[in-house]
Amino acid sequence: MAKKNPYCPLIQKGCIEHKCAWYCNIQGTNPQTGAVMDNWGCAITAIPILQIEQSQAARATQSATVEVREQVHNVAKVTAMATGAIRQMVLPATVEVE
């Protein structure tokens, strides 16, 4: 169990809790355990958890970007194939016979 008013390196004495601008309520899901969080504490001590969540979000965004890129690439290939097929059908009909 955390001790009451732990030492604060910013003011070099015990934590003043709600009187401090860095003391905040962190709510959400712990990215490591999946447990629901609703804790009051120093924002500085929450930075590692927030960085882990940021990294997970960045990986999810990168994965979604790769998926969209692959879909766009596939659409471009299908469009090129369709364009080629249409040209083969239309160009012979436009050739004039002398």
Evaluate whether 22 touches 40 at the Cβ level (below 8 Å): no
pLDDT, residue 91, reads: 67
Helix (H, G, I), strand (E, B) or coil at 42: strand
Which H/E stretch holds residue 61? helix 43-94
The mean pLDDT values, 10 residues at a time, for the chain of 98 residues are: 72 92 91 89 90 92 93 92 84 61
Nearest to 38 by CA among 50, 53, 28, 52: 28
Quote the CA–CA distance of 68 and 84 in Å, as a whole number.
Answer: 24
HSE, CB side, 13 Å, CA atoms: give it for residue 35: 7
pTM of the full structure? 0.58
